[in-house]
Chains A and B, each alone.
Chain A
Amino acid sequence: MSERPRKIEITDPVEITVDGQTVTAQSGELLIEACERAGAYVPRFCYHPRMEPVGMCRMCLVEVDTGRGPALQPSCMLPVTPGMAVDTTGEKVAKAQDGVLEFLLANHPLDCPVCDKGGECPLQDQTVAYGPGESRFVEEKRHYTKPIPISETVYLDRERCILCDRCTRFAKEVAGDPLIHFAERGAQTEVATFPGEPFSSYFSGNTVQICPVGALTAKPYRFKARPWDLEESESTCTGCSVGCRVTVQSSRNEVLRFQGVDSDPVNWSWLCDKGRFGFEAGNSEDRLGEPLLRDGGELRPARWSDALTAAASALKGADADRVAVLGGARLTNEGQLAWARLAKSVVGTDHVDAQLGDGLPAEVVLDLPGATIDEVCAPGGTVLYLGPDPKEELPVLHLRLRHAAVNDRVKIVSVSPVATGLSEFAAADVHPRPGETAVLVAALFGGDVPSDGVAGVPAEQVLAARELLSGAQDLKVVVGRQNLAESAAVMVDAVAAVRAAVPTATFLPALRRANVRGALEAGLAPGRLPGRATLEAPGSWKDAWGSLPKSVGRDAEGILTAAAAGRIDVLVLLGADPLSDFPDRDLAAKALDAAGTVISVDPFVNASAARAADVVLAAAAFGEVAGTTTSLEGRVTTLAQQVTPPGTARADWLLAVELADRLGTDTKVATAEDLWAQMVEGSAAHAGASTEALADEANVDGVLLALDGSGFTAPAATQVPPQNSYSLRLVVNRSLYDHGTLLSHCPSSAPLSREATLVLGPADAESIAVTTGSPVKVTAQRATITAVATVVDSVPRGTAVLHHNLADADADGVDPGRIVIAGEPVTEIRVEAG
């Protein structure tokens, strides 16, 4: 399942003998892997292919002869050497393995009938297959209180634990959060957390998946199902844009669990907890099972025919230039194409933006030469990181980067306004003043460095980072939005600065919404058409779609500004919640209030819809629609339909096709595959990603789109006013656990969001005489808000941080959306003790 044997390319072959057969192995690979590929699966508990071997459980003992006579050796610790002769099944091996199994069972409780792991338990499976029928251990077994919570979501049953070190190794080696550890000694050894410090890792759920017994269980799945009752299919997590492969498991038409799949180019079997437990949202009682129509100020259930008629007539009656579509990044590729066509061809508006002022222009994502995750993490490489905190926004990318830096000598030069999860292991970690990233990036590649530094970064740090970048032959750049209180243009300028210095650099866009890349590839952005075509150069789409918009439309900021000014008659929210997501909440609220008909296509009634929607079309959610998705690196993978949507909720693509039909256009689409076939046919970049290709076993990890973008041209540099010495520049960050619509409907994850505070560095805090916990007043151009201060060392002087979407949209909370003004290059604030 999760630990499928890895395919490897043998570049340095050695011949060994496994059970009498000559086998070609890769020099230096571990014997346990070579044996497995040769068809001699060696049982194991502690060994995990994605972690350092420890040789602790001793289950994988085999008899190895390297010329000095046969000896029992743990095959997980032994690299193959030429001529090695291995016996995996002989009498001595069987006796040793049986002995180990008996030792592991000695203190293991016989509670398989009530254990969640029963039915998928390696220890149980081994015992049933090879173990003794009866126990020789008549002594009293070890006893512990069971189970104990070690975090909000994970429980530990120490009686079942066989001390394989998988969870503890994962915490330290992979997640970098060593909050669980072995404690005590010998037969009393146990896995423990420190009193008062739970295993609060964003990655804790992985320990449940890799536990070879039922010692670790996850709250969302405990006692929910037996493995043999689960139906499953492989799919892709849409919690963010990394594209982690998962197995979606369900029982009685309810998704109950995600398990990470070891996709070699992507997630290596790991998932973040937000993604792993994100399926809970789909099972929420708040899911829409039928469309809604506003009636006397209230949204009330309606018949589909009425809802679709209402939506269609609003669209039909409006001037195309007064229709706008926001969102679409959470849809499947097929849904995106269907909606792109509906908007741009059937309705004829180009006021379409899948992003909500929190992303990057389409040309940065599509028109730069691309880099894959594997390329960014290739051993020995150099990475310039200009993205958001990956631990908070793209957690599994963070794990890959961590592995690259810690294990594979990848030098990461991290540039961000405040410290991130990368700071711990980045080769250089510099924090320019908000708004001045491009200035700093330019200085990293040359030019004079003034003695007082560049963009607030001390000169010696600039030079040290420059030194790291100077030898980089094959520079990889990760770029995204680091600060929602500065305009996207700041990051575009930074990209231009890199391009000017290193024309061969390749780029990985680090945008977080699940299928944002797919949306841009489908044309859900102003001026864009599917397959990287544009209105100026529409290619075959003109023929395929017929009419196209006359001129380039507005982006999200423009759409909301126009709406607020009363110039939008129909606003479609395609799984979008601008009130929560657009950085300038004030503008979003005005726009929603002033827009004509607001149509929300969503699995939930989100905050924006509750405020302003006239029509809510109940949409199917993850696991309820088959199709494809596109990850941040441009990898197209399949999404499985595992359950049916609640009530009569419908797939997004189907809604677009039906509306097109009601607007008089026959899109000739009967299935999602039809849509994808149109995409593959019309886009050279998608040529290899046909439905047939995706079904091919060789493409088990999906198909990469062509990453040969070349159309990016640097715009004129944004002018950032000098910082007022009495004010602080604001950074608005995202957190993994925020108040997003889906997360709010996950009972396990929703309580994990942190308290919204204003985060300051120690020097600035001291200058206004506040400490952690002090009330502060934050004054910006538009408004003054009150907050509680948190003082941390990692925020540089002159900068302050608020977190996006941690406060309730309607409450009078610590909401940066009340002070950030869309379009301003930076946001300056004054903070005083309050």
Chain B
Amino acid sequence: MPEGAATPELARVTSRWAVDGSHTIDGYRSSGSYAGYESIKAALDMTPDQVSGLVKDATVLGRGGAGFPAGVKWGFCPPGVWPRYLVVNGDESEPGTYKDRILMERDPHQLIEGCLIAAYAIGVAQVFLYVRGEMAHAQERIAAALNEAYAAGLVGKNILGTDFSVDIVLHWGAGAYIVGEETALIESLEGNRGMPRLKPPFFPAAKGLYMAPTIVNNVETLANLPWLVAHGVDEYRSVGTEASPGTRLIALSGHVNTPGVFEVPQGTTTFRELFESEQYGGGIRDGHHLKMFIPGGASAPWFFPEQVDLPLEGRVIGGEGSMLGSGAIVVMDETTDAVKACLRVVRFFARESCGKCAPCREGTTWEEKILQRILDGHGRPSDLDLLLDVADNISPGPYPTAAHPDAGLEAVPFPPRQTTICPLGPSSVAPITSAIRRFRPEFEAKITKRDSIPVSAAPAAPAPTPTAQGHH
């Protein structure tokens, strides 16, 4: 089954995925698309500003969800204010997203070297590598890699004999999706409940960990840095588009023949190519056709067959009413019950709401209860409008959605507005507006006829050979 990059030339962060022992320091040094721990040596020969400049010039976009340029983000640290902290967001939890875990499990030194490069450039003396709690194997791999790197003088005091010193501390979470939001991550790292802070005034680059300037970067973002330093800006920008250069990891799941995690050029690859190419998804599950898909994680408004020719380009997708988010594409064929899929995603947000602000805490659970009632056959005709109005009280005004040409409806561009503190509450609205706008009759059928479309009773094709393990 395919995974990683379609060609070796495209393999930047995935170049060691298929290599045995790539998680060790020796494996890291001796394999892959660049020589391990040579990039930090090269970076140390540059000034910190030059390294930052490299990241800025290459336009390394954040891979966590918002897609903000990392170099620009680094520049938001107020000058002359110390300490600065770097926090690595490895709390991958967005439904559909599966990439940071592989990066941490299979190539932990790549991430560590990325941290070193960033720490050197930003002026960070302590890095916290926050790994999702449920990822025991990734924690083991990173702990072992850090132990090797400390022993080799690559992390800690006077790295490679220079005056550059930085500690990298492995920290792990304990099960809370919201901690993937950067201010909640910081709260969690401070030992608190992972409840987001308000922005303004708590922008991490100014008032982050312990109220000090803090850069929070995603695992994949930092994993790109060693390759970038080794190959330079021009080569980095040689694939992708002007606005979205380089590659990015896409987790393609759901009703395709060969789901997998792929490294693809940003901006140029289209959804159709991903779904249909033999190198990637290998087509919609045999005998079925596409009903809808989520283009960027559970928080993203849904797309439909009309949108399959759009490129994986943040701005384009935003303009068309959704987001590329965390690179998580979930494909759903016509057997999927839109109401049930909608409920499942809404339930996720209701369960994961931190409870800090009223609209999210009360609104998401209310949405879930209404949808569950509809699905259970106790829906009322007024429930759909109620649902939409409750949603509107979480995210007021027209909610981002894809165009629906048959119904004469235009796209509403991303992002949504919010009465909440953070985007979690508004994210629960994405499946509701997406599904009701497109599949209102399915909802009405549940309410009036108490009819139910069977949900994926069994995969239409035999499942790929199962391997009962996740260790590599």
Give the B-binding residues of A (Cβ under 8 A): 54-59, 61, 71-72, 74, 77-79, 92, 95-96, 98-100, 102-104, 106-107, 136-137, 139, 162-163, 182, 184-189
Contact A163 B359 (CB under 8 A): no
4 nearest A-B residue pairs (beta carbon)? A99-B393, A189-B355, A103-B362, A186-B353
What residues on B are CB-neighbors of A189 within 8 Å?
Answer: 355, 361
* Least CB distance, B67 to chain A, in whole angstroms: 20
A57-B358, A187-B355 given; 12 more Cβ-contact pairs under 8 Å: A72-B396, A72-B417, A72-B418, A77-B198, A95-B396, A100-B358, A103-B362, A186-B352, A186-B354, A186-B364, A187-B350, A187-B362
In the bound assembly, the distance between CA atoms of A103 and B417 in angstroms comes to 18
Contact B393 A95 (CB under 8 A): yes
Q: A71-B417, A77-B201, A139-B366 are in contact. Are A58 and B355 (CB under 8 A)?
A: no
In the bound assembly, the distance between CA atoms of A71 and B200 in angstroms comes to 13
Closest-by-CB residue of B relative to A142 is B365
Contact A186 B359 (CB under 8 A): no
Contact B361 A163 (CB under 8 A): yes
In the bound assembly, the distance between CA atoms of A61 and B394 in angstroms comes to 12
In the bound assembly, the distance between CA atoms of A79 and B198 in angstroms comes to 13
| Residue picked from B354, B357, B392, most chain A C-beta under 10 Å | B357
Q: A56-B421, A77-B201, A182-B193 are in contact. Are A188 and B355 (CB under 8 A)?
A: yes
In the bound assembly, the distance between CA atoms of A139 and B365 in angstroms comes to 10
Contact A100 B361 (CB under 8 A): no
* Least CB distance, B200 to chain A, in whole angstroms: 7
What residues on A are CB-neighbors of B373 within 8 Å?
Answer: 139
Closest-by-CB residue of B relative to A78 is B200
In the bound assembly, the distance between CA atoms of A107 and B362 in angstroms comes to 8
Give the A-binding residues of B (Cβ under 8 A): 176, 193, 198, 200-201, 350-359, 361-366, 369-370, 373, 386, 390, 392-394, 396-397, 417-421
What residues on B are CB-neighbors of A104 within 8 Å?
Answer: 358, 362
Contact B365 A186 (CB under 8 A): yes
What residues on A are CB-neighbors of B370 within 8 Å?
Answer: 139
Contact B359 A103 (CB under 8 A): yes
In the bound assembly, the distance between CA atoms of A92 and B417 in angstroms comes to 12
Closest-by-CB residue of B relative to A71 is B417
In the bound assembly, the distance between CA atoms of A98 and B364 in angstroms comes to 17
Instruction: Please name 18 pairs of A and B residues whose Cβ atoms are closer than 8 Å in the assembled complex, sorted by A.
Output: A56-B358, A58-B419, A58-B421, A72-B418, A77-B201, A95-B396, A96-B393, A96-B419, A99-B390, A99-B392, A103-B366, A106-B366, A107-B362, A186-B351, A186-B352, A186-B353, A186-B355, A187-B355
Contact A162 B358 (CB under 8 A): yes
Closest-by-CB residue of A relative to B397 is A92
Contact B365 A58 (CB under 8 A): no
What residues on A are CB-neighbors of B355 within 8 Å?
Answer: 163, 182, 184-189
Contact A100 B350 (CB under 8 A): no
Closest-by-CB residue of A relative to B369 is A139
Q: A106-B366, A186-B354, A187-B350 are in contact. Are A99 and B361 (CB under 8 A)?
A: no
* Least CB distance, B315 to chain A, in whole angstroms: 19
In the bound assembly, the distance between CA atoms of A54 and B394 in angstroms comes to 18
What residues on A are CB-neighbors of B364 within 8 Å?
Answer: 186-187
What residues on B are CB-neighbors of A77 within 8 Å?
Answer: 198, 200-201
What residues on B are CB-neighbors of A58 within 8 Å?
Answer: 357-359, 419-421
* Least CB distance, A130 to chain B, in whole angstroms: 14
* Least CB distance, A77 to chain B, in whole angstroms: 5
In the bound assembly, the distance between CA atoms of A256 and B400 in angstroms comes to 55
In the bound assembly, the distance between CA atoms of A425 and B28 in angstroms comes to 49
Contact partner of A187 among B353, B359, B397, B418, CB < 8 A? B353
Contact partner of A99 among B193, B369, B419, B421, CB < 8 A? B419
In the bound assembly, the distance between CA atoms of A55 and B390 in angstroms comes to 20
Contact partner of A186 among B198, B200, B361, CB < 8 A? B361
* Least CB distance, B386 to chain A, in whole angstroms: 6
* Least CB distance, B75 to chain A, in whole angstroms: 21
* Least CB distance, B297 to chain A, in whole angstroms: 19
In the bound assembly, the distance between CA atoms of A98 and B363 in angstroms comes to 13
Contact B357 A185 (CB under 8 A): no
In the bound assembly, the distance between CA atoms of A115 and B361 in angstroms comes to 24
In the bound assembly, the distance between CA atoms of A405 and B418 in angstroms comes to 37
In the bound assembly, the distance between CA atoms of A340 and B411 in angstroms comes to 85
Contact partner of B419 among A56, A61, A184, A186, CB < 8 A? A61
What residues on A are CB-neighbors of B359 within 8 Å?
Answer: 58, 99-100, 103
In the bound assembly, the distance between CA atoms of A56 and B422 in angstroms comes to 11
In the bound assembly, the distance between CA atoms of A8 and B2 in angstroms comes to 68
In the bound assembly, the distance between CA atoms of A189 and B352 in angstroms comes to 12
What residues on B are CB-neighbors of A92 within 8 Å?
Answer: 396-397
Contact A136 B353 (CB under 8 A): no
In the bound assembly, the distance between CA atoms of A184 and B175 in angstroms comes to 12
Contact A57 B357 (CB under 8 A): yes
What residues on B are CB-neighbors of A163 within 8 Å?
Answer: 355, 358, 361
What residues on B are CB-neighbors of A61 within 8 Å?
Answer: 419
What residues on A are CB-neighbors of B358 within 8 Å?
Answer: 56-59, 100, 103-104, 162-163
In the bound assembly, the distance between CA atoms of A189 and B392 in angstroms comes to 24
Closest-by-CB residue of A relative to B199 is A77
Contact A103 B393 (CB under 8 A): yes
In the bound assembly, the distance between CA atoms of A204 and B417 in angstroms comes to 39
* Least CB distance, A770 to chain B, in whole angstroms: 37
What residues on A are CB-neighbors of B366 within 8 Å?
Answer: 103, 106, 137, 139
What residues on B are CB-neighbors of A162 within 8 Å?
Answer: 358
What residues on B are CB-neighbors of A54 within 8 Å?
Answer: 198
In the bound assembly, the distance between CA atoms of A137 and B363 in angstroms comes to 11
In the bound assembly, the distance between CA atoms of A27 and B351 in angstroms comes to 41
Contact A103 B363 (CB under 8 A): yes
Contact partner of B357 among A56, A96, A184, CB < 8 A? A56
In the bound assembly, the distance between CA atoms of A61 and B373 in angstroms comes to 31
What residues on B are CB-neighbors of A71 within 8 Å?
Answer: 417
Closest-by-CB residue of B relative to A96 is B419
Contact A136 B361 (CB under 8 A): no
Closest-by-CB residue of A relative to B394 is A99
What residues on A are CB-neighbors of B396 within 8 Å?
Answer: 72, 92, 95-96, 99
In the bound assembly, the distance between CA atoms of A100 and B365 in angstroms comes to 14
* Least CB distance, B421 to chain A, in whole angstroms: 6
* Least CB distance, B357 to chain A, in whole angstroms: 5
In the bound assembly, the distance between CA atoms of A139 and B397 in angstroms comes to 25
What residues on A are CB-neighbors of B363 within 8 Å?
Answer: 103
In the bound assembly, the distance between CA atoms of A136 and B390 in angstroms comes to 10
In the bound assembly, the distance between CA atoms of A162 and B357 in angstroms comes to 10
What residues on A are CB-neighbors of B350 within 8 Å?
Answer: 186-187
* Least CB distance, B34 to chain A, in whole angstroms: 42
Contact A55 B361 (CB under 8 A): no
Closest-by-CB residue of B relative to A79 is B201
Closest-by-CB residue of A relative to B373 is A139
What residues on B are CB-neighbors of A100 within 8 Å?
Answer: 358-359, 393, 419
In the bound assembly, the distance between CA atoms of A57 and B365 in angstroms comes to 16
In the bound assembly, the distance between CA atoms of A55 and B195 in angstroms comes to 12
What residues on B are CB-neighbors of A107 within 8 Å?
Answer: 362
In the bound assembly, the distance between CA atoms of A92 and B421 in angstroms comes to 17
In the bound assembly, the distance between CA atoms of A528 and B359 in angstroms comes to 64
What residues on B are CB-neighbors of A188 within 8 Å?
Answer: 355
In the bound assembly, the distance between CA atoms of A139 and B370 in angstroms comes to 8
What residues on B are CB-neighbors of A59 within 8 Å?
Answer: 358
Closest-by-CB residue of A relative to B421 is A55
* Least CB distance, B306 to chain A, in whole angstroms: 30
Closest-by-CB residue of A relative to B393 is A99
| Residue picked from B176, B350, B358, B394, most chain A C-beta under 10 Å | B358
Closest-by-CB residue of B relative to A99 is B393
In the bound assembly, the distance between CA atoms of A184 and B355 in angstroms comes to 9
Contact partner of B176 among A55, A106, A136, A185, CB < 8 A? A185
* Least CB distance, B432 to chain A, in whole angstroms: 15
What residues on A are CB-neighbors of B418 within 8 Å?
Answer: 72
Contact partner of B198 among A74, A95, A182, A185, CB < 8 A? A74
Closest-by-CB residue of A relative to B382 is A136
| Residue picked from A56, A96, A186, most chain B C-beta under 10 Å | A186
Contact B365 A187 (CB under 8 A): yes
In the bound assembly, the distance between CA atoms of A187 and B200 in angstroms comes to 25
